Amino acid sequence: MQISPEDNAREKETLQYTIDDPDLDFTMAKNNVKEMVTSTYGNAMILSWKDGTTGKFYPTFACGDGKTNVEPWIYYAQTRGANLTVDVNDGAYVFMILIL
């Protein structure tokens, strides 16, 4: 199955999501977001992410034609139809998701 942005007419949405846990790390944030998104929207996949606490992001390879000022992980998700961005704890962790 090939997924294309044209297949999904869902409007783009950004959620501010707070997780009150002093031990919160990337894995915990990702698991919480996956659970919340699946229970709220059904089938979905994380296309890209950024760990704002370390600066790491995925995918790490260059995307686009080199003429865009958009970070590669954002460009990657946008061009693959991401329609939900979940911002955890004011940028500590950000996930770009395709709701199917």
Reply yes or no on whether the pLDDT at 1 is more than 50. no
Percent of the chain past pLDDT 90, that is, above it, reads 78
Q: Which is nearest to 49 in space by CA: 85, 25, 16?
A: 85
Distance CA 74, CA 87 (A): 13
Q: Are strands 93-99 and 84-88 parallel, antiparallel or unpaired?
A: antiparallel
Reply yes or no on whether the pLDDT at 3 is more than 60. no
Mean pLDDT, rounded, for 67-88: 92
Structural domain boundaries enclosing 86: 5-99
Average pLDDT across the chain, whole number: 90
Tell whether pTM > 0.85.
yes
Q: Report the number of distinct structural domains present in the chain.
A: 1
pLDDT of the residue at 6: 56
- For 48, counting Cβ atoms within 10 Å of its Cβ (0-12 exposed, 13-18 middle, 19+ buried), the class is buried
Mean pLDDT, rounded, for 59-65: 76
Mean pLDDT, rounded, for 49-54: 98
Mean pLDDT, rounded, for 71-96: 96
Phi, psi of 52 (to 5 degrees): -70, -15
Distance CA 4, CA 56 (A): 26
Distance CA 26, CA 19 (A): 12
